[in-house]
Amino acid sequence: MKIFEIFDEEINLLIGTLLYYEKSKTFIIELKENLDEWTAPLLFTSFVKKEIYTIPRDISFLWVKERIIPSGRQNINSILSNHNLKTYDEMKFLELSEGRCSQDNMFIKRIDSLPKYIKKRNLQNLTDCIVLENNTLLCFFNDNTVRKIELAKLSPIEGIDKVTKNKKLFESCKLGTDGYYVTFNDSIDIPAHILHKSGVLIPLSHDDFISFVQKNVLDTSEVCIEIECTRQNLSYMVKQGQLKPVKENVRGNLYLKNDVVGNEW
């Protein structure tokens, strides 16, 4: 990860921090909380008015794009050659210009570690997210809290109605870069701070959940050992409805231990 402070040279003010995750090529901007609609960059004023200081990845990327040569420029190949670049790279161009553009007086400066205010804020980032039934998520956060979120009860978020109406889209849910968001089909994001604020607190830790999975979920081989049967016998039991897998896969199923033990009764 690359970390840059964002300064406004005209008013001599630290605006915030730009984070760049190289593997996922994701930009996240964290604004300082002392900004108001007059000192914040124009692109972010609507967020600051709502006291939102962690800027979503698409808007953060838009800020970057406003400050660099567009990929569709007519002579882009010559520009790449002049800078010894084989491919178009937003971060490379941003570093070359130090984030300066003609529209304002801001620039970026590389730093080595995350500022304390971001480390504190990141306690509301996600460590894990699990899809449940009925458009519900079970979310684990850096502050060691676990929260259950019904998507239908969230404040209006663009695209969330599509998620709740499409089971396949809902089940595409995965954790976003560094736990800043969850994303559906890598196109519809819900910021972690919204999930943290909206979720119902569950008295469960991530370690407890991992321990449950490790001790109570068995694969096909473990089930055969537990009830002393062959894979063929196990397959027959499943077909007869004597045992139901919690997850089916061509390479082997997963079963709850207590369901397996119940067959020994």
Q: Which helix (H) or strand (E) holds 118?
A: helix 116-121
Ranges of residues in the chain with a pLDDT under 50 are: none
Q: Which helix (H) or strand (E) holds 215?
A: helix 206-216
Cα atoms in the 13 Å half-sphere on the side-chain side of 117? 13
Q: Which residue is associated with the tokens 């695209």?
A: 159
Q: In terms of Cα–Cα distance, which of 89, 100, 96, 40 is closest to 66?
A: 100
Q: Which helix (H) or strand (E) holds 218?
A: strand 217-219
Q: Which helix (H) or strand (E) holds 160?
A: helix 160-165
Burial status of residue 107 (CB atoms within 10 A of its CB: 0-12, 13-18, 19 or more): middle
> How far apart (Å, rounded) are the C-alpha atoms in residues 139 and 131?
9
Contact 45, 56 (CB under 8 A): no
Q: Please give the pLDDT value at position 264.
A: 59
| Cβ atoms < 10 Å from Cβ of 171 | 11
Q: Please give the pLDDT value at position 251.
A: 78
Residues contacting 247, CB < 8 A, separation 6+: 253, 254
Q: Please give the pLDDT value at position 15.
A: 97
> How far apart (Å, rounded) are the C-alpha atoms in residues 263 and 91?
58
Structural domains of the chain, ranges and CATH numbers in brackets:
2-119 (no CATH), 125-204 (3.30.2020), 208-262 (1.10.1660.10)
> How far apart (Å, rounded) are the C-alpha atoms in residues 250 and 89?
41
Q: Please give the pLDDT value at position 108.
A: 96
